[in-house]
A and B are shown apart, each in its own frame.
Chain A
């Protein structure tokens, strides 16, 4: 993991002090709300449905166990509303009513406190910290080199990456040093603090794109050219929301050391020409679509000037790359038994036969590693009774312990809202499994249906049209049988409470989107989306399956869709493969048949 220098630490502390000053002036009435809002947003503080939400930055998803323990402390001591506020919030959610399932069960909103939530951009969110505690929390975060810098606001946001960065079997080059270098470049960049809209960058360094890069404002792929030189393929203008767009390749190959100079051009052209008249048309994807080749030409012309006239000041020196890369050296871990050893293979096989669950866990939650002696192990935060991606303070402390004991003190927030342990010795898998199972982190459902993505939705977010957590709970409840889940295989189910798409519904094989119709909660179901991974194919938004459904109908529709898949699949096809082969029509018919009563309202 990157090791903060004295400069880095002082910077974050100064930022926390700056925020404290802004908060104090706002509390004293010296800074109006409208003028405070962008400042607190650029430190991660939203004001949400019932309480402020804090989004803590987790650069490219990496956390140390010390940092996780501070996140636990924040959950325990600060993610606590007063009783009156909480009761009022719970009462308001109760008024929305439960989701009554056909089975007779019903799922209601059960608000929780004292926990953290892992987001689709590898960040960590809290939903209850009072604003008058916010400066204290920023100080606490700064004590472990953490912050909320630019996790919100119209600026360059947290740069996300592949959960297997630095450990992937198919790695071309480790994206993390570049993620860190770009993080520093973008942090408090004075020219780009007030862009037309938010700006999200994702970077991938492997053959498979596990970072959904084509769905970002800027997507970067580390690649080698024919001469073997390292560089970036640059995509610009991807995005979700009202107008899902896949990024355009604007540069097939950019030498690695020019990435900051090039992004300076990309962002400057956007800052100058991005639309500012309409917040729904202000993302760079709109500019790229509208201008096409002219946008690319403008960027190349600006880049040329940065190099030739300005002297390319942000060319990454080898010394700087070496300095940053030095932090990302893999830990020295000596396996007592090498993975090629027949003995360890036998032990694992025997254990798997002994315990079907262990076998399933090995299959689903344990991934191969660049170092054949190690494994990447995903801790599943997808289980009944907790919203996807939620972790209580105690659970965070346990995760920190597991990181220390089994993963050289490091853990990663995945873009699917789980945690990944990146340095697990293959001969410690049985022990880790037992510990993870005891903690409730070992459900063998990674990449299966119940490993779903869900945003906080209408229970917490004031932007949401509908609740997402009860929907996730209802579907999870229906699909508890591990045999059935394994038979259904890998499925990306993504749930967003509104069109802002924080749940990435557009890229789900199955997407669920909360929509507002007549002031009530309705849900649109889409099929066939892709995040650009090998399983899913080229990035593409899903197609809506029909007019929206009620919350109670949604689990029935999902069941109908999955039944259709099982009926139509051939030869071990995955869900998405069958969909691509047969098209949407069979699913449309099945979804329609799942409606409770004829629905005459079209969307």
Chain B
């Protein structure tokens, strides 16, 4: 394990419209050649972000040691940013990515700035990249999620687990939970308040069925052992933008990062970091 970091770090609040978002800038320290390339890291969904918090912190510092400038931030209503989770709207998070991108552009003297989307963060990164057009030099997606409805529906399992502990059985299935959300009630998923405003608008987004118009280089990174399958969403998405691509163009990462379960306290998956640095 190598953790000797010499990156420089700034912890700060940045503006996104009237809102303040918590973020951290990581850039090459003394003695490290600055490659003048920056990336905004678009974090995964709240439940996963919490579990991989330290990994993403270490990734940013690792990449800064490799010469990159990294900006990590919390979306509105998440982490240390302003706002309540139950009050957010999907447009807020896309806007947050754009504002973070512009913050980085103003703050650091960089020649190129890209976006890295982690899991569900890939959706907000892709939508922001569409708005930013050719300003974004590269969009890199790490274990991306494409269908927000399927993803959030799966997240509702968290509520079922809570019911199992509470009542010893599932009292309300996921269809019932969705009905309650749609009727304006708040439903807890792992303690996060799922509200209609967010759920209703988010579940209509599927960037595979309705791909955003991208004017940027695209990289898809997958934590998997092989990539021979053509029938994967990752490959289908890549093919939309790079018709000549083949499954081996998906960048493979070791299966070191578990987004959903925290069985240990893995904070520095070095092989994954190395592969990501090489891909960028």
> Do A and B make up one complex?
no
